[in-house]
Chain A
Amino acid sequence: MKKRMRKRIVTDLYYALKDGSGKTRLSALIMGYGQLARKQIAKGSLYLLTELAFIAYMLFFGGRYIGHLFSGNLGTQLAGERWNEELQVFEKITGDNSFLILLYGVVSLAVVAGFLVIWAMNLKGNYENDLRIREGRALSTFAEDMRSLLDERFHITLLTLPLLGLVVFTVMPLIFMALIAFTNYDYAHMPPGKLFDWVGVKNFVEMFSFSGGGTGFAFVFLRVLVWTFIWAFFATFSNYFLGLFVALLIHRKGIRLKGFWRTLFVIVIAVPQFVTLLLMQKILDGDGILNALLGTRILWLTDQRWLSLLPRVMIILVNIWIGMPYTLLMCSGILMNIPTEYYEAATIDGAGPVRIFFKITLPYMMQVTAPYLITQFVGNINNFNVIWLLTGGGPVDNVHYGGGTQAQATDLLVTWLYRLTTDQNPRYNVASVIGIVIFVISAALSLVTYHRAAAKGEETFQ
């Protein structure tokens, strides 16, 4: 599908060059020439200006960085001073900055890509003019072009700005950070003082080889990964079943004030998460109110014994408190939509409430909410806030999590990634490897959802 599309775009351009008039062909070099020669002044000059701006950008800025990007290293010249024999003075040298070379290199590549799109539009526009002239039709005026942006080409109007935002603030930074995984950018290689460079797949090898021993990266990574999955499993299903349970309680026939009960729980959703989580952190603190009430001194969130079991359990419990209302909301919405005929038929057949729940309600809910459960699971794998605000990833456990890895006992992959980039001794390269791993996991799980959704057309609830 995609391949065919690419082919079509390329053949379009090929025909434009092969079959187009001289004006069209010249426009491939001097953008907008064809339009200007055909008196489409506004359009032509816009294209021409774009080309000039692009050339200026590449000459004075982008070209250098793209050159650097493909030169095989990320800069060699450190900033400093050099003795000038002739003038007998120290000259300041502005050194290379690996970070900026990589960043501006990626930015410049994006600019080139954007320019190519406009160049293709310019060529195609010219070729269309050729065709129109051959068929004896009038060329489109500027006003007509503008009008078509609200009609046949409305998608361009709608998509340009949002996608521009996406490219600048998501796609480009992501490509940049993914590239960092292949460099040695860490606290020992911080530009401009020190430079960093490509190291190939060394970071991946370090992350996944067990030679580092029990506290080396591979084991620590496994520990964090296992905990991430355990957490995601419990966080997803505890919320789901408790939410369903409470929704069923409220949904029961004969229970009054249904709206009131729902609102009671929904208040928790409405209070911003960072508030409730910080509050919980303070309630569960060693000096917090819970210990004061119980007369104990239990370290709810920092007890290290049994592989920090207590903090882990507390995190999941607090998460139930935070997250159950969401499932409650969703489940009560769906429960109201279960066709009553199912229940009537079951009651006539003499099924009891337990049987009805397991034979009708639960299968129906599972069927309808399966995609929700998977997205929820992925969401929990990346659930930064709950862990960060409750324990900050801690407690610190140097026995099982080697010092150099900077991981802590309740860290998820995401919180570990965050610590690696914000610590006083940051290791951006390792963080970037983890980011790629998270991406692979999310992608695999989303693929499952996608396939389910695709197969769903044939499935019907029974």
Chain B
Amino acid sequence: MSKVKKKIKLSNLLTYLLLATLGVLWLLPIGYLIYTAFRVTPSTGIINTLVPANLQLGVDNFVKLFKETAFPRWLLNTLLVSVSSCVLTTLFILMVSYALSRLRFRMRKPLINVLLVAGMFPGFMSMIAVYFILKAMGLTNSLVALVLVYSGSAALSYYICKGFFDTVPRAMEEAAIIDGANRFTVFQRFVLPLSKPIVVYTALTSFIAPWCDFIFVNTIISDREKYTVALGLYKMINAEKNSFNDNFTVFCAGALVVAAIIVTLFMSMQRYYVEGVTNGSVKG
């Protein structure tokens, strides 16, 4: 074996080692989450030893989660909210991006500026006002309010999607318009089918958002029965100071259920997600 080859082999080995070390580092906390979720807490509730002498593993936490807490209810709430907000948000984003990318109308430039400016304020600065607007509409403590809030600001995130539409070739559309097709037909028949990656990306991100948000839910909803999983789990270990030890294993079980749902979804759509991230970020 030549010297050069040996050198390459050695450096490859080092790379594998480094990658493996980093990989382990990155997965350790997740491993800990899984382990804790399946750990049956000893009666004292103390959790700060990794492997206690009387270690027991089992699904007790999951049983407790589904029997004794409102978790199934929260899961259903989150699912309802995220499905409806996913549909609305995706539609809104597609509509706005298409209009701003392809159609030319008088208020286009000013509109882009308004969207830019509105997007620069931190979102929850206006939370209190949103709460009172919802209250005036009689919508506090309802899941509909969450859907409205999530999809109401959808127009602000048009950027990545518009960037994609900008790159879709126009030749076919122009031909279709000359042949007398109206713009709606063009949108629906020519542009949408070519835009599958960005549609999936938009839908995926807007579906996941309600699973992760707890701030808006916390403001809008006070009824425990109407919590989403994020807020429910957050409150489970952050409501009272000493709730940590009592609820931590159950929290881990709940977190694992949520994570499993999102990971599955994510992995099955990873290809599109990567395309979206690369596409959107490169164009800024």
Contact = CB atoms under 8 A, between A and B. Distances in A.
A165 B283 contact: no
Interface residues of A, number: 97
Interface in A2-29: 2, 5, 8-9
A72 interface: no
Interface of A: 1-2, 5, 8-9, 99-100, 103-104, 107, 147, 150-152, 154-155, 157-159, 161-163, 165-166, 168-174, 176-177, 246, 249-250, 252, 254-255, 261, 263-276, 278-280, 282-283, 285, 287-289, 291-293, 321, 324-326, 329-330, 333-334, 368-369, 371-372, 374-375, 382, 384, 414, 417-418, 421, 428, 431-432, 435, 438-439, 442-443, 446, 449, 453
Contact of B32 (A249, A279, A371): A279
A288 B277 CA distance: 35
Contacts of A255: 12, 15-16, 19
Nearest to A99: B132
A168 B212 contact: no
B182 to A, nearest CB: 4
A332 to B, nearest CB: 8
Contacts of B172: none
A155 B103 CA distance: 7
B278 A5 contact: no
Given A165-B148, A283-B32, A272 B258 contact: yes
A268 B106 CA distance: 45
Ordered nearest first, which 8 A-B pairs have the shortest CB separation? A371-B284, A169-B152, A173-B126, A333-B278, A173-B129, A165-B152, A150-B184, A435-B125
B140 interface: no
Interface string B213-248: 011000000000000001001100110000011001
Contacts of B113: 2
Interface in B76-134: 92-93, 95-96, 98-99, 103, 105-111, 113-118, 120-122, 124-130, 132-133
Given A165-B151, A166-B155, A449-B284, A278 B125 contact: no
Given A255-B15, A371-B284, A321 B121 contact: no
Contacts of B230: 272, 274
B262 interface: yes
B144 interface: no
Nearest to B270: A266
A274 to B, nearest CB: 5
Given A158-B99, A270-B262, 5 more contacts: A166-B118, A173-B130, A249-B19, A271-B263, A418-B124
A288 B267 CA distance: 31
Interface string B140-165: 00000000110111111000000000
Interface stretch (B22-30, B65-73, B195-203): B22-30
A328 to B, nearest CB: 10
B29 A442 contact: no
B227 to A, nearest CB: 13
A302 B108 CA distance: 50
Contacts of B277: 326, 329-330, 333
B34 to A, nearest CB: 11
B48 A289 contact: yes
Contact of B251 (A159, A272, A278): A278
Contact of B49 (A8, A169, A280, A292): A292
B282 A369 contact: yes
Given A155-B105, A159-B95, A274-B230, A265 B26 contact: yes
B75 interface: no
Contact of A162 (B27, B96, B107): B96
B156 to A, nearest CB: 7
Contact of A439 (B25, B26, B120): B120
A158 B151 contact: no
Contact of A5 (B22, B106, B128): B106
